Chains A and B, each alone.
Chain A
Amino acid sequence: MTHSVASGKSIRFLYIASIVLLCAWVLGPLYLLAVNALSSPDTINQFPMNLIPEFDLESLIFFANFYGMLDALINSITVALFTMCFSICLGAPAGYALARFDFVGKELFRVIILMTRAFPLPLLALPLAVFFIETGLDDTAFGLSLVHTTLALPFAILITFSLFSGVPRELEEAAWTLGCNRFAAFRFVILPLILPGITASAIFAFVISWNEVFASAVLTIQNRTLTAFLLQNLDTAPLHLKFAGGFILVVPAIVFIFAVRKYLFAMWGISNR
Chain B
Amino acid sequence: MWNQAKKLPYLLIAPSAAFLMIFFLYPFASVITQAFEHSSTDGYSLTNFQEVFSHWKFSISLENTLLLTAAVVPIQLALALLMATMVNSMRKGRDLILYIWTIPLGISDLAAGIIWLVIFEQTGFLNSLMLNLGLIERPVALLTYQNPMMIFVAIALAEIWRATAIMLVILVAGIGLIPREYYEAASVFRASKWQQFIRITLPLLKPSLQTALILRVILAFEVFAVVAALGGTLFPVLMGETYIYQFDLLNSGAAAAIALVILGLSIAFTLIVLRILKVPKGVTM
Contact = CB atoms under 8 A, between A and B. Distances in A.
Direct contact of A and B (CB under 8 A): yes
A213 B259 contact: no
Q: Is the interface of B mostly helix, strand, loop or mixed?
A: helix
A19 interface: yes
A253 interface: yes
Interface in B48-99: 82-83, 86, 95, 97-99
Contacts of B95: 261
B9 to A, nearest CB: 4
Interface residues of A, number: 99
Nearest to A20: B97
Contact of B225 (A89, A213, A254): A213
Contact of B116 (A29, A105, A127): A29
Contacts of A249: 107-108, 110-111, 114
B224 interface: yes
A266 interface: yes
B262 A120 contact: yes
A67 interface: no
Interface stretch (A58-66, A192-200, A237-245): A237-245
A93 interface: yes
A15 B89 CA distance: 11
Interface residues of B, number: 96
A10 interface: no
A214 B240 CA distance: 9
B262 A123 contact: yes
A164 B207 CA distance: 23
A211 B15 contact: no
Given A29-B119, A46-B123, A234 B239 contact: no
Q: Which of A26, A29, A45, A126 has the most CB of B within 10 A?
A: A126
Q: Is the interface of A mostly helix, strand, loop or mixed?
A: helix
Interface in A53-102: 86, 89-91, 93-94, 96-98, 100-102
A273 B279 CA distance: 12
A214 B285 CA distance: 36
Nearest to B83: A22
Interface of A: 15, 18-19, 22-23, 25-27, 29-30, 32-33, 35-36, 44-49, 51, 86, 89-91, 93-94, 96-98, 100-103, 105-106, 109, 112-113, 116-131, 146-147, 149-150, 153, 157, 169, 173, 176, 182, 207, 210-214, 217-218, 227, 230-231, 234-235, 239, 242-243, 245-246, 249-250, 253-254, 256-258, 261, 264-266, 268-269, 271-273
Please list the 3 inter-chain residue pairs (A to B) with the smallest Cβ-Cβ separation, ordered nearest first: A211-B108, A246-B114, A48-B128
11 contacts: A32-B118, A44-B123, A97-B9, A122-B222, A127-B26, A218-B246, A246-B114, A261-B95, A264-B169, A271-B211, A272-B207
